[in-house]
Structure 1
Amino acid sequence: MLRLLNIEFHKLRYNRASRVLSIIYFGLLTSIALIAAIKFDIGPIKFHLAEQGIFNFPYIWHFNTYVAATLKFFLLLVIVSMMANEYSYKTLKQNLIDGLSKKEFILSKFYTVVAFAAISTVFVFFVSLILGLIYSDFNEFTIIFSDLEYLFAFFIKLVGFFSFGLFLGILIKRSAFAVAGMIVWLIIESLFKGYLIWTFKDLRGGATAEANKIMQFFPLEAMSNLIKEPVTRLGAVKSVAKQIGENFVKDYSVNILDIVIVSAWTFIFIYLSYSLLKKRDL
């Protein structure tokens, strides 16, 4: 595994675009800390976002992983360009000539995907831990290290998403078209979800709930379900909602079924990538 990872990181080290995108990505992850600087001071209205509890333990694990997950497209560009470069510079063919099997080649890419996801998860962990220790109202050990399942869900989400990108990179061979393919698939899922909601509009159980039962098995929807939006979980938001007669009833926990579904899709994407490469005449 280390040999295969070394091969991939050697390629990335000499790819300027990949280096720049990686730096931007981790720079943006660090910039989550800038949220603490958001303040509004207009006459009697004084608002400091950090004081609203977004950096309180254990809520911070949910909030930061959700925000960080929205930045994953930057690393997606690294993954798909990594595959596109293999075809453009013919390094794929050279690796196979040098004795690397197609299975080892796919494994090297998958190990890189896992490595990026793991590094991102560790990075978010330390950024969140530091912000929490500075701003959280709750610093007991048991509270600090509760809800860490959001970090695990974040890791699974990135591995699944990047595996999808890897498959598209192998399928399409061009990074721009591979990213476009991801966007097209997102649109297809969104349109199909809208169609299901319209179809189930007369059901008593609720059209959205019925549509979600089907959509949870789609790859991007399943990845989205791993970490649900955290805003309505915030105490300040709930207080405002109650004042206007709204009451949020929602399960914000990490669902085992979602983890299983995303893990299954990850296996499918990697297997399809290998099958495609195995059949393709290079």
Structure 2
Amino acid sequence: MLRLLSIEVQKLRYNKSARVISIVYFVLITFIALIASIEFNFGDINFRVADQGIFNFPFIWHFNTYIAAILKIFLAIVIVSMMANEYSYRTLKQNLIDGISKKEFVLSKFITVVGFAAVSTVFVFVVSMILGLSFSDYMEIGIIFSDLEYLLAYFIKLVGFFSFCLFLGVLVKRSAYAIGFLVIWWLAEGLLYLLMKWRFFRDTDIAENVMQFFPLTSMSNLIIEPATRLGAVQSAASQLGENLDKDYEVGILPLLIVSAWIFLFVYWSFLILKRRDL
């Protein structure tokens, strides 16, 4: 496994575009810290974002993982381009000639996917810890380390999304086409949900119950949007007579569904390579 990982590291090391995109991704995550310094002045009223509780423990784990997950498309580009380069530069064929089996090749790519997800998760943990210790109103150990399941959900979400990108890269061979297919799939899931919700199953939960098993929707369900969880938003909604009662917990079912998709994407990638004439 270390041999396979070292091979992939060497490939990424000499891929300038992959290095640049990866750096941009991690720099953008650190920009979350800039939110803390944003201050709005409305006459005599001074409003600073950090004072609204978004960096309070344990809410910060929910907020930062949700925001960081939005940026995952940057690493997705690295994943699909990494796979596309294997075809463009014929390194895939050369690896097979050198004795690496197709199973080991797919495993090496999956290890890279897991590595990207793990590094990103650790990075989000460090950034969140620094921001939380700097701005949180709650410093008790029990509060600081509660809700860490959002980091697990973030890790699984990245592995699932990157595995999907890996599968698309293997399937269509070209990074631009793979990203295009990903966008089309995302739009298709959204359109299908709207059709089910507003055309076929109005005023029921059938659309949600069905769509939760689709890949991108199941990944989205791992970390629910955190904005409506804030006390200020809840109070404003109550005054307007709105009910924002949601289940913000990381659910076992979404974790299992995404884990199943991870297995399927990796397995299908292997089947495609196994049957394809390289």
Q: Do both proteins adopt the same fold according to a TM-score greater than 0.5, normalized to the shorter chain?
A: yes
Unmatched runs of 5 consecutive residues or more in structure 2: none
Counterparts in 2 of 1:1-282, with a 5 A limit? 1-202=1-202, 206-207=203-204, 209-282=205-278
Give the secondary-structure state (helix, strand or coil) at the position aligned to 2:31: helix
Cα deviation for residue 172 of structure 1 reads 0.5
Cα deviation for residue 210 of structure 1 reads 2.2
Q: How far apart, CA to CA, are the structure 1 residues paired with 2:236 and 2:50?
A: 17
Q: How far apart, CA to CA, are the structure 1 residues paired with 2:237 and 2:200?
A: 28
Q: How far apart, CA to CA, are the structure 2 residues paired with 1:3 and 1:32?
A: 36
| Kept after mapping to 1: 8 A contact 2:201/2:207 | no
Runs of 4+ in structure 1 displaced over 3 angstroms?
A: 199-202
Cα deviation for residue 42 of structure 1 reads 2.2
Cα deviation for residue 10 of structure 1 reads 0.3
Q: How far apart, CA to CA, are the structure 2 residues paired with 1:139 and 1:174?
A: 49
TM-score by length of 2: 0.98
What amino acid sits opposite 2:5 in the alignment?
A: L
Q: How far apart, CA to CA, are the structure 2 residues paired with 1:170 and 1:200?
A: 35
Q: How far apart, CA to CA, are the structure 1 residues paired with 2:125 and 2:73?
A: 19
Q: How far apart, CA to CA, are the structure 2 residues paired with 1:155 and 1:115?
A: 10
Q: How far apart, CA to CA, are the structure 2 residues paired with 1:45 and 1:261?
A: 47
What amino acid sits opposite 1:227 in the alignment?
A: I
Give the secondary-structure state (helix, strand or coil) at the position aligned to 2:221: helix
What amino acid sits opposite 1:48 in the alignment?
A: R
| Kept after mapping to 1: 8 A contact 2:81/2:174 | yes
Cα deviation for residue 200 of structure 1 reads 4.2
Cα deviation for residue 229 of structure 1 reads 0.3
Q: How far apart, CA to CA, are the structure 1 residues paired with 2:186 and 2:214?
A: 10
Give the secondary-structure state (helix, strand or coil) at the position aligned to 1:185: helix
Aligned length in residues: 278
What amino acid sits opposite 1:59 in the alignment?
A: F
TM-score by length of 1: 0.97
Q: How far apart, CA to CA, are the structure 2 residues paired with 1:53 and 1:234?
A: 7
Cα deviation for residue 58 of structure 1 reads 0.2
What amino acid sits opposite 2:189 in the alignment?
A: E
| Kept after mapping to 2: 8 A contact 1:200/1:210 | no
